[in-house]
Amino acid sequence: METKTIISASDDIILNLKVLAREKESVRRKLAVTAAKLAVTAKKLATTAKEKESVRRKLAVTAKEKESVRRKLVVTAAKLAATAEKLAATAKEKESVRRKLVVTAAKLAATAEKLAATAREKEIVRRKLAVTAAKLAVTAEKLAATAEKLAITAAKLAVTAEEKESVRRKLAVTAEEKEEVRQKLVVTAAKLAATAEEKEVVRRKLVLTAAKLAVTAEEKESVRRKLAVTAEEKEEVRRKLVITAEKLKMSYETLENKVLERTKSLEMARAKEESILLSIGDGLLATDEKGNIIFINKTAEKLLGKKGNEVVGKKFFDVIPLEDEKGAFISLEKHPVNIVLATGAKTAALSAAYYKAKDRVRFPMAIMATPVVLNKKTIGAIKVFRDITSEREIDKAKTEFVSLASHQLRTPLSTVNWYAEMLLAGDVGELNKKQKKYLDEVYRSNQRMVELVNALLDVSSLELGTFVIEPKSTDVCELARNVAQEQKPQIDARKIKFRLVCEKHILPMQADPKLLRMVIQNILSNSVKYTPEGGKIKLSIVLANTENILLKISDTGYGIPKKQHSQIFTKLFRADNVRDKDTDGTGLGLYIVKSIVEKSGGKIWFESPEENRGTTFYVTLPIKGMPKKRLNSSSNI
């Protein structure tokens, strides 16, 4: 059992050994393969090493070459640098040389110029010298000539002196001879004198005789001359008479012509006046002092529907009956012609009269009468009248324009106003902050537009005269208090101290409260707008005198620039100093105020001593109030 066991064990061992041997073999083979692979790898590595070495060597070589090249480059660079330096040096030298050359050139140029200048000067001097030389030559010649002449003259003088001497000598001899002769002559003269006296006596006698004869002759001549003069005078008178006659004839003719011309021109003037009177567009009627018609023109005939010969000589009042608006007869006392004839008034007018001609519709007539005055006495009246139907129509059109403009412009503005208002009030839900802000801008701009349109409508209404004035008993102080109350929010916002002072004895006046309100409201709102924060405004109402009340509104505001004082009531004008402080103004307020005040019979003025020292406005209004004014027709659009 044991052996068996051992055998089987050794078999096992052998078997194991065999297995082991096989495994060893296999390992060995694997090792061999691995070794072979390693060898191959080693070879490859060796090869690679060699290659690397070769590459390294090559690299070394290359490095060396590079180094050599670098060194060469350095050298070259150094050389280049040196060359560059040299070049630079050369360039500098060149530059310096160039500069020197430039300087030298400049110097040369200067020298050349100087030389040229000198040459020119020399030339000038040379020329001057030449001229001087020429002049000298001429002078020398002249001198020579003069010298010659002098020599000749000297010679001549010498000769003359000799001659004179000779003459003088001869004269001396002659004088002696003359003396002798003179003495002889004296003797002869004495002899002759005796004979002469005798002759003189005879001559005087002869002269006397001759004189006597001459007197007779003169007398004869004088008579003859007188006769001749008379004849001439006669002739002259005759001539004058002829001339006068001619002149008279001419004058007569001229007069005749002038009379003719005058007559013609008078005739022309008369014809002209008559044709003017006859053909003027207005009806014209003349009466004597009793109101009898003496003339009517064609237009009058046409308007009245009556011929001249039907009415001349009749009383105007009977021929032209007038009615008022409601058809009632207008009495004689109210008739303009009667007014001027009866009272001597310079003119009388009637604008609301109606006349109805035969077969015609009634028409409105405007009448104006003036007296004809001779030597301070009224001797008649002239009545001018016209059909004012078309004027009435124009008035109506004006009124309708304002109505239409009011309506058309304000309707869309009202729409914007109301809807924006409802949105802002949250009537249809709350808005957010931004929405509210935007809508507020829309609302305020629209509000501004409303104000502008209102002001423009008031202006056109005032200008066109389509303004209703309805005076009623009005307490001015109460009204002013109301206006101030309305503006309290603005006054408070600007921290302005406002005072209203009303005199005790002011009774209610006859005024249209709407218009009076506009006046106070405009001036007060200007004061509020143009007074800086913390300023003062005072409105006082006092009796100016027995007939007028005075409104005085003073502030401590910006004032009105002096040079613009004259423009302050002008339509659309705004003073320079407030334009930028308040851009909303229309420039219409004071224009409207002035129109209203003046239409009411009042006055407006202001004081503004200098800028930023405030303004005071004064308004006077008559206590008896504004004149009532109705519009002829209400609109029917």
Closest residue by Cα to residue 303 from 366, 349, 350 = 366
Q: Rule CB under 8 A: is residue 325 a binding residue for another protein?
A: no
Q: Is the Cβ of residue 552 or residue 571 nearer to another protein in the bound state?
A: 571
Residues 6 or more apart whose CB falls under 8 angstroms from that of 482 comprise 517
Instruction: With contacts defined by CB under 8 A, name the span among 261-269, 283-291, 411-419, 560-568 that binds another protein.
Output: 411-419
Q: Is the Cβ of residue 367 or residue 402 nearer to another protein in the bound state?
A: 402
Residues 6 or more apart whose CB falls under 8 angstroms from that of 618 comprise 550, 551, 552, 603, 604, 605, 606, 607
Closest residue by Cα to residue 473 from 519, 443, 509, 449 = 509
Question: ∠ CA(103), CA(109), CA(111), 5° rounding?
Answer: 100
At 558, is the secondary structure helix, strand, or coil?
Answer: coil
CB of 419 to another protein, least distance (A): 6
Q: Rule CB under 8 A: is residue 174 a binding residue for another protein?
A: no
Instruction: With contacts defined by CB under 8 A, name the span among 157-165, 214-222, 325-333, 461-469 that binds another protein.
Output: 461-469
Among 252, 329, 418, 438, binds another protein (CB under 8 A): 418
Q: Is the Cβ of residue 329 or residue 418 nearer to another protein in the bound state?
A: 418
**Contact, 365 vs 381, CB < 8 A?**
no
CB of 421 to another protein, least distance (A): 5
Indicate the length of the chain as a whole number. Answer: 637
At 135, is the secondary structure helix, strand, or coil?
Answer: helix
Q: What are phi and psi of 556, to 5 degrees?
A: -110, 35
Instruction: With contacts defined by CB under 8 A, name the span among 120-128, 158-166, 193-201, 417-425 that binds another protein.
Output: 417-425
Q: Is the Cβ of residue 335 or residue 594 nearer to another protein in the bound state?
A: 594
Q: How many whole angstroms separate alpha carbon 478 and alpha carbon 429?
A: 41
Q: Rule CB under 8 A: is residue 458 a binding residue for another protein?
A: yes
For residue 74 the two structure tokens come to: 């350095």
Per-residue contact track with another protein, 294 to 323, x per CB under 8 A?
------------------------------
* C-beta atoms surrounding 477 within 10 Å: 18
Instruction: With contacts defined by CB under 8 A, name the span among 230-238, 462-470, 483-491, 500-508 that binds another protein.
Output: 462-470
CB of 493 to another protein, least distance (A): 19
Q: How, if at all, do strands 497-502 and 536-543 pair?
A: parallel
Q: Rule CB under 8 A: is residue 525 a binding residue for another protein?
A: no
Q: Which residues make beta-bridge pairs with 541?
A: 502, 551
Q: Rule CB under 8 A: is residue 94 a binding residue for another protein?
A: no
CB of 548 to another protein, least distance (A): 23
Q: Rule CB under 8 A: is residue 415 a binding residue for another protein?
A: yes
Among 467, 530, 569, 591, binds another protein (CB under 8 A): 467
Residues in binding contact with another protein, number by CB under 8 A? 37
Q: Is the Cβ of residue 405 or residue 542 nearer to another protein in the bound state?
A: 405
Q: How many whole angstroms separate alpha carbon 296 and alpha carbon 310?
A: 10
CB of 391 to another protein, least distance (A): 18
CB of 570 to another protein, least distance (A): 22
Instruction: With contacts defined by CB under 8 A, name the span among 116-124, 244-252, 363-371, 449-457 that binds another protein.
Output: 449-457
Q: How many whole angstroms separate alpha carbon 259 and alpha carbon 264?
A: 8
Residues 564 to 623: which contact another protein by CB under 8 A?
none
For residue 5 the two structure tokens come to: 């066991």
Per-residue contact track with another protein, 100 to 139, x per CB under 8 A?
----------------------------------------
**Contact, 560 vs 578, CB < 8 A?**
no
The Cα-based distances of 590 to 3, 276, 541, 598 in angstroms read 154, 46, 19, 12
Q: How many whole angstroms separate alpha carbon 366 and alpha carbon 380?
A: 20
Q: Rule CB under 8 A: is residue 457 a binding residue for another protein?
A: yes
Cα Rg for the chain, rounded, in angstroms?
70
Closest residue by Cα to residue 348 from 358, 360, 339, 359 = 339
Q: Rule CB under 8 A: is residue 459 a binding residue for another protein?
A: no
DSSP code, position 583: T
Q: Rule CB under 8 A: is residue 445 a binding residue for another protein?
A: no
Q: Rule CB under 8 A: is residue 453 a binding residue for another protein?
A: yes
At 618, is the secondary structure helix, strand, or coil?
Answer: strand
Q: Where are the beta strands (DSSP E) in 411-471?
A: none
Closest residue by Cα to residue 333 from 300, 297, 296, 291 = 291
Q: Rule CB under 8 A: is residue 414 a binding residue for another protein?
A: yes
Per-residue contact track with another protein, 376 to 405, x per CB under 8 A?
-----------------------x--xx--
Q: Is the Cβ of residue 454 or residue 548 nearer to another protein in the bound state?
A: 454
Q: Half-sphere exposure of 537 toward its Cβ, with a 13 Å CA cutoff?
A: 27
Q: Rule CB under 8 A: is residue 82 a binding residue for another protein?
A: no
Q: Is the Cβ of residue 387 or residue 458 nearer to another protein in the bound state?
A: 458
At 614, is the secondary structure helix, strand, or coil?
Answer: coil
Residues 494 to 523: which contact another protein by CB under 8 A?
514-515
Q: Rule CB under 8 A: is residue 244 a binding residue for another protein?
A: no
CB of 463 to another protein, least distance (A): 12
Among 287, 299, 338, 461, binds another protein (CB under 8 A): 461
The Cα-based distances of 193 to 141, 179, 188, 344 in angstroms read 70, 20, 9, 116
Closest residue by Cα to residue 367 from 319, 411, 404, 320 = 320
Determine the residue type at 234: K
Q: Is the Cβ of residue 370 or residue 417 nearer to another protein in the bound state?
A: 417
Among 333, 359, 427, 533, binds another protein (CB under 8 A): 427
Q: Is the Cβ of residue 299 or residue 446 nearer to another protein in the bound state?
A: 446
Q: How many whole angstroms separate alpha carbon 157 and alpha carbon 159?
A: 5
Among 419, 481, 494, 508, binds another protein (CB under 8 A): 419
Among 93, 162, 179, 470, binds another protein (CB under 8 A): 470
**Contact, 568 vs 591, CB < 8 A?**
no
Contact residues for another protein (CB under 8 A)?
A: 399, 402-403, 406-407, 409-411, 413-415, 417-419, 421-422, 425, 427, 450, 453-454, 457-458, 461, 466-468, 470, 514-515, 630-631, 633-637
